Amino acid sequence: MYIEKAKVESIEKINEQTFLLKLFSPSIASSAKPGQFCNVKVSERTDPLLRRPFSICNVEGESIYFLFDIHGEGTKLLSHKKFEDEIEILGPLGKGFVYDGSYETAVIVAGGLGTAPFPFLINRLSKDKKVAAFVGARSKNLVLQHGLKNISVATDDGSVGFHGTVVDLLKKEISSIAKNKFRIFGCGPNPMMKALQKYAMENNFDCQISVEAAMACGFGICQGCPIEASDGESYLLVCKDGPVFDAKKVKI
């Protein structure tokens, strides 16, 4: 884990509310793993006080990428950063995806900004593994496909692709995927992750889910992001024990 003063190399507007930020951050770039995150200090001021957690979207040489939406004052400030501005970041944090193994197809299931960690994962997969990406959004203009491949889209309003949830789309297409051994990697809003978890467990699928939670410290000191373990007798911390969990290990 490092605290690094990262310099802005570029910031690109992906759609009406989503941005891709590239930072020169050699220490974090050299040690990051897919599914991990960083806590970002969006301003030198005391308001907003807390850092913001962002999934590491990708790593390219000594640079890291973050994909983010504008949801409040902190992310609005971040969207206005300029070339060579310095941003203090803490990371890499948490436990990422376990992507080694004998499976043949990586099945990515992402909702909204849940696509963020998957360009990094795809780039780290061995060349012999296939990718099938299922992406969900509320409507056509909110679909995020940056850094993904072999994409199938679902929208809540049916404005593009499958009319329904991305988990329902996965159910519809699973027969073609199941011809080969596969592993599911999911990220998105927690109600979506709960639906994916339920479907995976009912069918005994190999599935890992990245869980969202409000965080303060980002590394387990504040105890502010508990999630109930599947045994019903203990709790884990999203920031330290996750954010990626085996779908069988937690209750969302």
pLDDT per residue, tens digit, the chain (252 aa), is 899 999 999 999 998 889 999 999 999 999 999 999 999 998 776 555 567 899 999 999 999 999 999 988 888 999 999 999 999 999 999 999 999 999 999 999 999 999 999 999 999 999 999 999 999 999 999 999 999 999 999 999 999 999 999 999 999 999 999 889 999 999 999 999 999 999 999 999 999 999 998 888 888 898 889 999 998 889 999 999 999 999 999 999
Q: Give the separation between CA 212 and CA 155, rounded to whole angstroms.
A: 21
**188 and 224 together in one domain:** yes
Beta bridge partners of 226: 237
Predicted confidence at residue 233, as pLDDT, reads 87
pLDDT in tens, 112-134: 999 999 999 999 999 999 999 99
Which residues are registered as beta bridge partners of 109? 134, 186
Count other C-beta atoms under 10 Å from residue 76's C-beta. Answer: 11
100 lies in some domain: no
Q: Do 56 and 32 touch, CB atoms closer than 8 A?
A: yes
Question: How do beta strands 130-137 and 58-60 pair?
Answer: unpaired
Establish how many alpha carbons lie within 13 A of residue 244's alpha carbon, considering only the half-sphere containing its beta carbon: 24
pLDDT at position 217, please? 86
Parent domain of 212:
105-251
At position 138, the amino acid (one-letter code) is R
How many domains in the chain?
A: 2
Query: What is the Cα gyration radius of the chain?
Result: 18
Q: Do both 109 and 233 map to the same domain?
A: yes
The pLDDT, as a whole number, for residue 71 is: 84
Helix (H, G, I), strand (E, B) or coil at 197: helix
What pLDDT is attached to residue 216?
82
58 and 128 assigned to the same domain: no
pLDDT of residue 215: 83
Q: Confirm whether 98 is domain-assigned.
A: no
Question: Is 110:136 a contact under the CB 8 Å cutoff?
Answer: yes
Residue 99 lies in a domain: no
Q: Among 205, 160, 216, 201, which residue's Cα sits nearest to residue 180?
A: 205
Same domain, 144 and 216: yes
- Domain boundary (67, 93, 119) is at 93
Structural domain contains residue 181: yes
